[in-house]
Amino acid sequence: MRFSGLGVYSLKTCHAFDVDLTQTSYFFRKRLLEYLSHFWTMFIRLQEKWGVSTRQFWILFIVFGLTGCTTAVLTRYITAWLGMDAGTFWVWKVLLRVGMLVFGYQFILLGYGALLGQWAFFWKYEKKLLQKLGVRSLESEVERTRQLTTKNKLPTPDSRLQTKQIAIFASGAGSNAEKIIGYLTGHPSVQVSLIVCNKPGAGVISIAENHGIPVLLIEKERFFRGDSYLPDLKAAAIDFIVLAGFLWKVPEALIAAYPDQIINIHPALLPNYGGKGMYGMKVHEAVIAAGEKESGITIHYVNEHFDEGTPIFQAKCIIDGGDTAESLALKIHELEHRHFPEVVERVVSGSKSPPAP
């Protein structure tokens, strides 16, 4: 009987232990899924911030991983080669690690980036890092000094009554903005007189500085729920607004103030592959995934809805069988750089004949 009682007690104990294990396992799986969901969301946001395709994002992720591992191995190797051990003065160890982090890591990153075809991304990444650390080239410093010693204020209406003034809105590197600025340099009746940007570290700001064009940095609250910076635009005598990679939706107040005077470029043949959330690499990935045989650009007026304004101009390119989202993006950029400046000039100057596609 004593044995039987012990057996019953043991069975109850095992059952309770099994229930406890089941609850613990459920709790563990739940927390694991939460962490995985959190990290996945973080990866998605990072991909959107970088503006790259899913394939390119994971290549970049691999480059960062390889760079970290290689830097750690090299640091340990150099430490052993220099004969550093527990008795070495700690300052020398710290200096070695800081040197590897500041210099070694960056060169290794560029090396792996070049090997995996991502040199352009990582070179831009390093330049942004240097800018954040306050390191600027001599050319940039000379240009900045020149701007500080000359008038670089917003233009006034009285000084520019005879010329059509353009404000370019941009959020990123500004390659289209730079093409437009270069195309219109010296134009008798059309001029880019203001760059409007919503990202303080965007490359388009450096482009504006290099051309001596004032920059207006905007913030979301005032843009969407305030006066939409209309007083600043009117003070600058702006006649037309050109969206060149500007990722915020234009508020209705701005559209009402500039009817048929806001121009946008979209990296696809609208009305296909347009709408909210369709920009940059997302568009090219969707086009490739759908098996399209051609894509292109659409330059159009802006209204209250995403990518639904009246089309002005379209140009097409052929999609080859081996094209990826990245290779398609290069073709689209070539179309943008070739046609966007000329279309902007013709629309703003009032020319009726569209450019040949």
Torsion of the alpha carbons at 226, 198, 152 and 184, rounded to the nearest 10:
-110
Cβ distance 243 to 298 under 8 Å?
no
Geometric angle at alpha carbon 172, from 323 and 317, rounded to 5°: 30
d(CA 66, CA 83): 26
Burial group, residue 249, by CB count within 10 angstroms (0-12, 13-18, 19+): middle
CA distances from 100 to 76, 108, 265 (A): 11, 10, 43
- Report d(CA 136, CA 145) in Å as an integer: 12
C-alpha 91/C-alpha 315 separation (Å) is: 61
Of the candidates 211, 266, 305, 333, the residue annotated as catalytic is 266
Alpha helices in the chain (DSSP H): 2-50, 54-81, 90-99, 105-115, 119-132, 138-148, 175-184, 203-210, 220-225, 230-235, 252-257, 281-289, 325-349
Whether 15 is catalytic is: no
What separation in angstroms does the CA of 139 have from each of 173, 174, 283?
19, 19, 36
* Distance from C-alpha of 223 to C-alpha of 283, rounded to nearest angstrom: 26
Amino acid at the residue 206: S
Residue type, 182: G
CA atoms of 121 and 144, how far apart (whole Å)? 25
Which residues, including other chains, have CB under 8 Å from residue 200's CB and lie 6 or more apart? 217
Give the Å distances, CA to CA, from 61 to 34, 64, 116, 123, 204: 22, 5, 11, 15, 26
Rg, C-alpha atoms of the chain: 28
Please identify every residue annotated as catalytic. 266
